[in-house]
Amino acid sequence: MAINSVPGVSLEELSDTARAIHAMLMSDPAVRDCAVVVESERDALIRVYLVGTGTRPDRQFGDKIDILIARFNTAIDVQLIAVSNLPLTTQGKIDTPLLSKLPIIDGQTVAACEHQLHELFPNSTISVDITERRLPVSPLHCSDLGIAPLQTSRAENPAGNALLNTIEQSETPGPASGPAIIHS
């Protein structure tokens, strides 16, 4: 059993809090999915990975979590992390080791960005809001690559043949959209 550096917070209390947060969020129609992970027993840290529907700002979920935490133990630190989807294992379970490796933009990063912008524009009011933006990537056509369509055999188009071989060698299997998730 780990030694708690946060007095009065047990693993059982962390687990109960995590279950309550998960139940509260999953009952909210603005939440598509979520994973609640006890990240550090020693530091009494719970991370909430939230996939919202986009109908409500993520900070409102943080307010709901704060109210819930006040009923349990205010020494517990909860980080709310908005993600576009939850990585899954090959068995269809949430891949928690991969979740813990996701890059996180925290308050210090936002404050540093705001400070840099304020130095560039000292007479302006600046606020940084983290959002996610996805750009669709349309499939390429042979004409986009500057090669003739494949109505001819590869042997008749050496430049296209070399380019297609390079593309075929660099292709990796993965989902049709979104990031590729490597399972170990």
Same structural domain, 82 and 62: yes
Q: pLDDT at residue 87 above 50? A: yes
Strands laid side by side in the 77-82 sheet: 31-40, 45-52, 77-82
Give the angle 103-82-38 at the CA atoms, nearest 5°. 75
108 lies in a domain? yes
**Neighbouring C-alpha atoms within 13 Å toward the C-beta of 67:** 7
Question: By C-alpha distance, which of 36, 129, 115 is closest to 78?
Answer: 36
Same structural domain, 34 and 80: yes
Same structural domain, 155 and 125: no
% of the chain residues with pLDDT over 70: 59
| pLDDT at res. 108 | 64
Dist CA 71 CA 16 (whole Å): 12
Q: pLDDT at residue 46 above 50? A: yes
**Digit-coded pLDDT (tens) for 124-157:** 887 777 665 555 555 655 566 666 555 545 455 5
Same structural domain, 73 and 116: no
Q: Could you give phi then psi for residue 17, rounded to 5 degrees?
A: -65, -45
Q: What residue numbers bound the domain in which 118 lies?
A: 102-132
Same structural domain, 65 and 120: no
Q: Would the pTM of this model clear 0.75, i.e. be above it?
A: no
CATH number of the domain enclosing 56: 3.30.300.30
Same structural domain, 83 and 30: yes
Count of structural domains within the chain: 3
Q: 162 or 104: whose pLDDT is higher? A: 104
**74, 26 Cβ separation under 8 angstroms:** no
